[in-house]
Amino acid sequence: MKINIKFNKKLLYILFPILFILILFGGLATYGYFTAKSFTPNIEALQVTGAKLSAAFQAQDLVVAKSEAQALSLQVGELDTKYQKVGWIGSFPFLGVYQKDGQHGINAGKFLTKSIETLIASVEPYADLLGFKTGVATPSGTPKAQSIEDRIVFMAQTLDKISPDLEKVEADMTAAQKELDQINPARYPETISGKNIRSKIVEVKSTVAESAQLLSQAKPLIKLLPDLLGNPNPKTYMVLFQNDAELRPTGGFMTAYAFLRVTKGKIEPLSSFDIYDLDARFNKKVPAPEPIKKYLNETYLNLRNSNMSPDYKVSMDLFYQYYRDIPGFPKPDGIIAIDTKFPVEILKVIGPIGVGGWGNFGPQNDPACD
């Protein structure tokens, strides 16, 4: 007995391509899985080295930091070489985007390690002055760091030499950010095998973006800092002491003021006075703004109440407009305002100080003042 089985040719034409695609993607998925697994040792090694590098910076050990940064650079390079072997996957639909994400991540890692190595190399000759442990001798003629003042002097005299390297660091940080910007965290699951994936990608992108922005914003100040610290020409500053317990738009009531001269980072106190002494020398009758009339019941403006705008420059423009007409006072290069919290934070860094006739002052609260 013969059994004839007739196949529908149209059905074969439909099923065969589908079957081929399923086999192809199944093979690619299997290959991708085992390939990804082969990268695990490299990624774990990077995590360990990165943790050691972070710990070295926190411990201010530039010797270990330099060694770990070099190791990290080599490990990223090894991972990149290994990853190039799966570059062909990038041309496939669906899987390709994940392969490209991986390459963007590796590229970002290369830029970041380069920026770290540049930063270490630029500050290494001056590490002692910055409070870091280093195996490189301090340049001849450069004093060892003995105090906060030594470090301020160092910044005044050396930042202009480091600035070009900071430009390179910023460029590499920006390049790393651009690579990471091409990775969409939404493409990834929240977790895989209990490990956070999407949130980790978001965290890395956010950290790099914030660091790049911070460096970009700090760059103008870094360039200006030597000049602000009196290098090459001395600067005179007026310091306004604001009592933050008395509300004012710029942060507190201006209760006293002092003058400082800064010469190549060295700070020299000149004089200090009560704010009422300054107002006593201010003889102009300037009508008070409405808030002063309403809340302080004063007809004329006193200099102590001239900080009426939350925009510090606007307030100081008004203050200086009248201050400069008072004879016998220095014409400062800048006006700096500090509140009561600022000296406390400084004392936390430098420790208690002694003031003749008044005793020792530190950052701790004095119960007698409560």
Whether pTM > 0.75 for this model: the answer is no
pLDDT at 14 > cutoff 70: no
What is d(CA 228, CA 225) in angstroms, rounded to the nearest whole number? 5
| pLDDT at residue number 5 | 47
Domain final residue pick, 208, 228, 248: 228
In a domain, 193, yes or no: yes
Count up the domains in the chain and report the number: 2
The secondary structure of residue 289, as a DSSP letter, is P
> Which residues constitute the domain of residue 284?
235-355
In a domain, 4, yes or no: no
Ramachandran angles phi, psi of 343, nearest 5°: -60, -35
The reply to whether 305 and 201 lie within a common domain is no
Mean pLDDT of 100-122: 92
In a domain, 368, yes or no: no
What is d(CA 248, CA 304) in angstroms, rounded to the nearest whole number? 10
The reply to whether 220 and 347 lie within a common domain is no
In a domain, 370, yes or no: no
In a domain, 147, yes or no: yes
| pLDDT at residue number 46 | 87
Q: Under DSSP, is residue 253 helix (H, G, I), strand (E, B) or coil?
A: strand
The reply to whether 92 and 74 lie within a common domain is yes
The reply to whether 259 and 299 lie within a common domain is yes
The mean of the pLDDT values for the chain is: 82
Domain final residue pick, 181, 200, 228: 228
In a domain, 365, yes or no: no
The reply to whether 191 and 269 lie within a common domain is no
In a domain, 2, yes or no: no
The reply to whether 277 and 336 lie within a common domain is yes
What is d(CA 65, CA 87) in angstroms, rounded to the nearest whole number? 32
The reply to whether 23 and 158 lie within a common domain is yes
Report in angstroms the alpha-carbon separations of 116 from 52, 222, 262, 267, 346.
14, 18, 32, 32, 29
In a domain, 367, yes or no: no
| pLDDT at residue number 98 | 83
Domain final residue pick, 228, 246, 268: 228
pLDDT at 13 > cutoff 50: no
Mean pLDDT of 42-56: 88
Alpha helices of the chain — where are they, by DSSP H?
A: 9-58, 62-83, 95-123, 148-181, 198-228, 275-281, 290-296, 312-323, 341-350
Residue 137 and residue 124 in contact, taking contact as beta carbons nearer than 8 Å: no
Instruction: Tell the residue number behind the tokens 């800064």, with chain if given.
Output: 262
Kind plus residue range of the DSSP H or E element containing 259: strand 253-263
The reply to whether 201 and 312 lie within a common domain is no
Pairing of strands 235-243, 334-339: parallel
End-to-end CA distance of the chain: give it in Å, rounded. Answer: 111
pLDDT at 334 > cutoff 70: yes
Phi-psi region of 174 (alpha: psi -120 to 50; beta: other; left: phi over 0): alpha
The reply to whether 186 and 251 lie within a common domain is no
The reply to whether 220 and 239 lie within a common domain is no
pLDDT at 352 > cutoff 80: no
The reply to whether 45 and 120 lie within a common domain is yes
- Prior bond to 232 cis, omega within 30? yes
The reply to whether 239 and 223 lie within a common domain is no
